[in-house]
Amino acid sequence: MKRLLHFLFAAAVALAMLPVDTQAHFQLVEPAPWINLDRLGNPQKVGPCGGNPTGDNDAILSGIVTEVTGGSKLHLKIQETIFHSGHYRVALSVNSRNELPADPTAVEKWTDRGLYSVWGVIQSPPQIPVIADGLFPHYPVGDQRASFRPETPMDPWEADIAIPNINCEKCTLQVIQFMADHVYNTPGGYSYHHCADLKITADPSKPIDDRWPGQMMTNDRPEVVARTLAPGLEPVWSPAPAVRTLSSQVIEKRRSGPVGLVGLLRWTQWPTLPLRCTWRRLCSAGAIPFPELLSRPTRRERPRQAAVRAVRQHRLEFGLGQYRPIASKSISMVGSDSWAENLMNPISASLVSSR
């Protein structure tokens, strides 16, 4: 009996010396999380997105994908189910959750109960893939314990988060809570983790944010682009054409028919070579950057005359280094004497209504 009492006493002392896990939990309310959570927000310890430590989450997948327009604000709503001091951070991965950053670096202290966090590093300004940091900071004030619990029910934390203007079929939005004055969890460290699946469609009226992985500098989806015209003309808004590279245009011309020598050089080395062609066989459609606009000139026609004659039947809309003809009022081209440069350079070309 005495041995049993001694054993129980020793066990009690050992348990008292173990670190006390001051729990903190939160639910991701908006956007909808990628897994179904219980009333406390579990499972949420394991990074980067919570879930079962074994990785077997098929039974709890929510299957919800939130659709978002790029360049807009996404409403974030968080409910702390067990209060703890700290702050929140939001990050975004485009291709894989492996792109999500590590948990915030923690400043730690050694206590008689073990290693505890003091505070976590906050990115200011946030660095990609982090899009918001230091949200909802609530740290102890004065002698207040970090793990105290308010007597009244806690209100949700809410904020509008700026989403980059990108295209992404299935992005991952990560929301984590960094906890101050907290024992190191295994797994999870000093953070709790939640994620939401997003489908982001770029706003065509805004430039693509090409700082993110897999994003082109130009928006290659159907979009609305403002064209800059000469003073006195109203901007023309129309769908922009799909992006086509010079190499693809060369292949298309080869399939559609023979291309003159000057035309081939113009396509492969444009705009470094000057355009000089007076013979009909050399001044084929491929010799000029806008083949579908220009008819084949006669022997006596100069290139400038051929260009002006054809351009008068169309309006050229320039944007993002592309072109698109539409039937409209006739126009004339004015500018420098180098008509070829004006024709090929959307920025320097001036378009005015013909009289």
Beta strands (DSSP E) in the chain are 25-30, 65-69, 73-82, 86-93, 106-111, 114-120, 130-138, 157-162, 168-179, 191-201, 224-226, 237-239, 314-319, 322-327, 331-334, 350-353
Domains of the chain with bracketed CATH: 20-201 (2.70.50), 224-353 (no CATH)
Confidence of residue 42 (pLDDT cuts 50, 70, 90): confident
Residue 157 one-letter amino acid: W
- Residues composing the chain: 355
Residues contacting 133, CB < 8 A, separation 6+: 87, 89, 90, 122, 123, 124, 126
| Percent of the chain predicted with pLDDT > 70 | 50
CB 96 within 8 A of CB 40: no
Q: Per the structure block, which two tokens stand in for 218?
A: 């130009």
Q: Who has greater pLDDT, 185 or 266?
A: 185
CA-based nearest residue to 277, from 268, 293, 292, 265: 265
pLDDT at position 228 over 90: no
Please tell me the distance from the alpha carbon of residue 185 to that of residue 46, in angstroms, as a whole number. 9
**Two structure tokens written together for 35:** 């897994």
Residue of higher predicted confidence among 122 and 238:
122
Q: How confident is the model at residue 268 (pLDDT cuts 50, 70, 90)?
A: very low
CA distance 255 to 267: 14
Residue 123 has pLDDT above 80, yes or no: yes
- The reply to whether the predicted model has a pTM over 0.85 is no
The predicted pLDDT at position 285 comes to 39
Distance CA 252, CA 65 (A): 39
Read off the pLDDT band of 266 (50, 70, 90): very low
Each residue's pLDDT tens digit, 130-174: 999 999 988 877 776 655 666 556 788 899 999 999 999 999 999
Higher pLDDT, 340 or 1: 1
Say what the pLDDT of residue 287 is: 39
Q: What is the pLDDT of residues 61-118, one digit of tens each?
A: 889 999 999 999 999 999 888 777 889 999 999 999 999 999 998 888 888 888 888 8
